[in-house]
A = this chain, B = another copy of it.
Amino acid sequence: GIPERINTRLDTFKKFFHDFPVSTELEKFEDGEDVVVHGFIGKRKDLSSKLSFCDLNPKDFKFPRPFQIVSSWKKENSTQHLAHQCLKDIPAYSPVVVLGRLHPSPRDSNSPQLENSSKPPSWDLRLQSITCLNPFPKDIIVSKDAVWPPKSRHLQLRFDPLLQQRLYFRSFLQMTLMTLLQEANFTAIETPILFKSTPEGAREFLVPTRRPGYAYALTQSPQQYKQILMAGGIYKYFQLAKCFRDEDHRADRQPEFTQLDMEMAFATGADMINAIGCLVYSLNSKIRQNFLLKDVNGMRCPLNNIHNRHKRTGTKGLKPNTISEEAKSTEEAKPTEEAPEEASSQFVFPCIEKMTYDAAMSLFGTDKPDLRIQLPYVSRIHRMRKSSLTTSFVQMITSLKDPIVNSCSFRLGVPPKDAGKFIRQFMAALPNTTIKLSPESTPAVFVYDSGQPLNGLSALGHASAQKLEEAHKPMWGKYEDGDVIIMQARKNEPFYGGSTDMGRLRTAIHEAAVKEGLIPKDPTFRFLFVHSFPLFTPNGEDPGQGGAAGFSSTHHPFTAPKTPADFDLLKTDPLKAKADHYDLVLNGVEVGGGSRRIHVAEVQEYIMRDILKMTDEGVAEFAHLIEALRAGCPPHAGFAFGFDRLVSVLLDVPSVKDVIAFPKSNKGEDLMVGSPSKVTPAQQKTYHIFAAEDS
């Protein structure tokens, strides 16, 4: 039978399933009108036994601010009296349907913190009736700015308005980018997620089938399918694509993530870079028309611009599709019309800059330079001439023979004593951070101090100290007291990989100085294309293509060489060959990347078989792609935004988890639903999956 505890309450529950009136259309919101509003109520304030106030959060774009329910009564058993009693029975945070009479409200002192200074209208709702649709339980304690455990993601979504705003912004960004691509005649085409395992580069998840020993692999990206689309005569393709990689979840990565993926036929890398430039430019103007950036509790919050633009003019005539209507208008948002402090927080993207991989690595020590780390606070990395340094100094900082010695300077604007304290603390804490330096070289740290011998550079020796000052002058001007100079040696060899010791130090020192308030935080958005990566990279930890060459494709084995000269290098010195590959970097974070592809079957086979020295079996895994290229495939180039990453950098949040509705933990677990979960014996049998005895 049905347990008594439920049975006796079924009639109570049943009433929550009744029909309830639909909410009143926005057009009818006028002073004195009776309207129906759906929403969640806030905490009730009882001013007397006959007068209460209560916020009603309508949870709809149309109403940027909560309503205030005003409940008062004079006559016993009047409608107002009954409604008042009803209100008093409903727990805070419950979903309700309210019938009330509208009046404009003057209560601006209660305005919630998310609001702009120039406020949209808010309404009082004189209560006539209220229905609770599902009472909020007493045992869930809601406090302001609470951070809920991952298991309670539903409560974080519900009670963190910043998280909700970020999800709305993400939705806007997705739809805007897709619409811009559609307008540029890109075709949205879905490609399979159940693919097969190929040695493309990353570790794939497998999906076993009921046929023993056979499995699908989840696509690590739509790469191969989109290239086949190009061979199939599709001119321009795009897709908001789910990608899957079974990586160790370091570096804020998710096992499943989203790419906005594109490919163009009859295009070179340069064509694709231009196309992305246009897209980012258009995107910026759409964002600026629709969003303001505000700092709320130190977090960057994308505030919907309609809050600001429809001030005291009332909501009348403000159609539900306000956002896209505005996006369609040619009128540009004019940041100069705002108060200066608001203008500074606008979304403004300057032109995208371009830089080769080699330049990025030598000047910034990273293939993802953050262009906000710049003069007058931080110099670029300088390569010291060999002749300008004494052997004894070089031997002091490194065990390397014939090293390259780099220098980099920081202007913290404080006296030498304070600068010295800052940098010594930083260096002392370094071993406990994630920044790992090579054991072959120790950074040398100097604080420029005209009160000290050789201005504090005496460890360099007289001649070297002078050379350092001279060398830095063209970009940096004269050193000032309190400037911090870091010098470090590295192996004299071509660049591979993502960063150098000096690059990681430079970024970390800047970050620490910003944290300490020594360097101001730069709120701008600096896009940069890094291009001409090495086509191949000596084997490291990643699986690569499993070839016998000792190196793997830096990105994937389909990347085209950059120039005819790089083509020739394949035969003689493949590790020197550059790729027609480009990464889009925003504020030091890779938010996208792409390349021209190899579109000639023989060249693709040549790279796999003769350069990477993959096995026949390995090459055969790509037979579908090679066969498609063979059928007169046009040249093509592509790009993909790491969409989660793009959103998180635009919103300046520390993790992609902050812009994903249901993120997975660093161990790849969804702690709310409890995935992954134990495989049942029946499932083990159906899909031939082992279970460990001890699990």
Contact = CB atoms under 8 A, between A and B. Distances in A.
A561 interface: yes
A567 B680 CA distance: 34
Contact of A158 (B231, B635, B660, B662): B231
Contacts of A13: 600, 602-603, 606
Contacts of A328: 328
Interface in A657-693: 660-662, 664, 668, 670, 672-680, 683, 687-692
Contacts of A9: 602
Given A134-B599, A624-B674, A185 B61 contact: yes
A190 B661 contact: yes
A244 B205 CA distance: 15
Interface in A135-151: 135-137, 140
A633 B695 CA distance: 35
A213 B689 CA distance: 7
Given A187-B168, A628-B154, A194 B695 contact: no
Given A6-B610, A17-B564, A60-B235, 6 more contacts: A6-B605, A134-B634, A158-B233, A194-B670, A195-B675, A213-B691
A228 B153 contact: yes
A643 B154 CA distance: 28
Contacts of A185: 60-62, 320-321, 323
B676 A268 contact: no
Nearest to A38: B266
Interface string A543-562: 00000000000000000110
Interface stretch (A18-26, A365-373, A417-425): A18-26
Interface string A212-254: 1111111000001100110111110000101010100000000
B233 A157 contact: yes
Interface string A178-200: 11001111011111111111000
A600 B16 contact: yes
B196 A675 contact: yes
B196 A674 contact: yes
Given A19-B268, A231-B158, A624 B673 contact: yes
A256 interface: yes
Nearest to A563: B17
Contacts of A321: 183-185
Contacts of A184: 320-321
Choose among A14, A17, A62 the residue with the greatest number of B CB atoms under 10 Å from its CB: A17
A576 interface: no
Interface string A604-640: 0110001000000000000110011111111100000
A262 to B, nearest CB: 13
Interface in A467-495: none
A661 B189 contact: yes
Contacts of A675: 192, 194-196, 216-217
